[in-house]
Amino acid sequence: MLENKTGMIFGVANQRSIAWACAQACAERGARLAFTYQGERLKENVEKLTANLDGSLVVPCDVTNQADVDAAFQSVGKEFGKLDFLIHSIAFAPKEALEGEFVMTTREAFQTALDISAFSLTQLALAALPLMTDGGSIVSMSYYGAEKVVPNYNVMGVAKAALESSTRYLAEDLGKHNIRVNAISAGPLNTLSARGVKGMGAMLKHIAANAPMRRNVEAREVGNTALFLVSDLSSAITGETIYVDCGFNIIGIQRHFDET
Ligand code: 1JT
């Protein structure tokens, strides 16, 4: 399905990363992939994970450093010649911002969260444009806290709202180049990022009890949706946020616990 296509994947930290699930789905369907990592401490992880992916490339890229971004796309241009898709699976907020009350968010935490988690999509889309000569597809990761209040998600909810809105504006700008831009709103997963969050275990239980499908999402299901969105199967879908959450977001009032 992705034979002769090349993709760039941002946000692999370890084997549980959503970005890695996306990479596996795409690699299994024949894509040639470039991976970026943030900081030297993640370099070895990413190199080990990708060691047996034929023709893959691993480059450093901290999105807060434009020179890194330019160098990463230059490497991809040199090695691959063109780019067909890009998967954005990066987010950050200071730990203190993901606990307590949203009203306590500092200017610095707000700026950091929005810069790394939302602005970076626009930054990477612009950098990818000259390489997407044959059209392309850009996919990012969001979460329900963008739309509705989720305890502790706080400034990340604001950042994801900006990410989803950016998806729509980018879809309009890049549509004329046959580049599609979509977001996946994934249900919570037990990843490195989620590990740092207080009450994650209780939240996973709440989803398993209340989602229409009575279970949590698996990373491979998010990866398969990313595969669909970067493939030609989704050729008329752009600007959307697609929920991959076992239906949790459609529920208005939760059913009573003793009704199965
Ligand atoms: C970040 C973190 C972005 C955790 C994230 C995230 N997007 C989803 N999660 C998991 C999550 C976190 C909270 C939550 C529900 C899901 C941590 C590092 C910064 C970026 O609310 C209860 C807080």
pLDDT digits (tens, 9 = 90+) for 133-173: 999 999 999 999 999 999 999 999 999 999 999 999 999 99
Ligand 1: residues with CB < 6 A are 91-93, 98, 143, 150-153, 156, 188, 193-194, 196-197, 203
Residue-level pLDDT at 194:
85
Please classify residue 43 by burial: count the beta carbons closer than 10 Å to its beta carbon, then call 0-12 exposed, 13-18 middle and 19+ buried.
Answer: middle
| Cα dihedral across residues 112, 113, 119, 121: positive or negative | positive
Distance 92 CA to ligand 1 centre (A): 9
User: β-pairing, 85-88 with 57-60?
Assistant: unpaired
Q: Residue range 20-40: average pLDDT?
A: 97
Residue-level pLDDT at 2:
98
The residue type at 2: L
Sequence-distant (≥ 6) Cβ neighbours of residue 220 within 8 angstroms: 21, 24, 25
Is 153 in the active site?
Answer: yes
Work out the angle at residue 177's Cα, subtended by the Cα atoms of residues 174 and 181, and round it to the nearest 5 degrees.
40
Report DSSP state, residue 95.
G
Q: What pLDDT, in 10s, does the model give residues 47-83?
A: 999 999 999 999 999 999 999 999 999 999 999 999 9
The residue type at 213: M
- At residue 92, φ and ψ (nearest 5 deg) are -155, 145
Residue-level pLDDT at 190:
87
At residue 196 the predicted structure's pLDDT band, cuts being 50, 70 and 90, is confident
Chain-wide mean pLDDT for the chain? Answer: 96
Domain 6-245 indexed as CATH 3.40.50.720: yes
What percent of the chain is modeled with pLDDT above 70? 98
Query: At residue 260, does pLDDT exceed 70?
Result: no
193 Cα nearest atom in ligand 1: 17
Task: List the one residue out of 221, 225, 179, 230 whose CA is nearest residue 1.
Answer: 230
Report DSSP state, residue 100.
S
Residue-level pLDDT at 258:
67
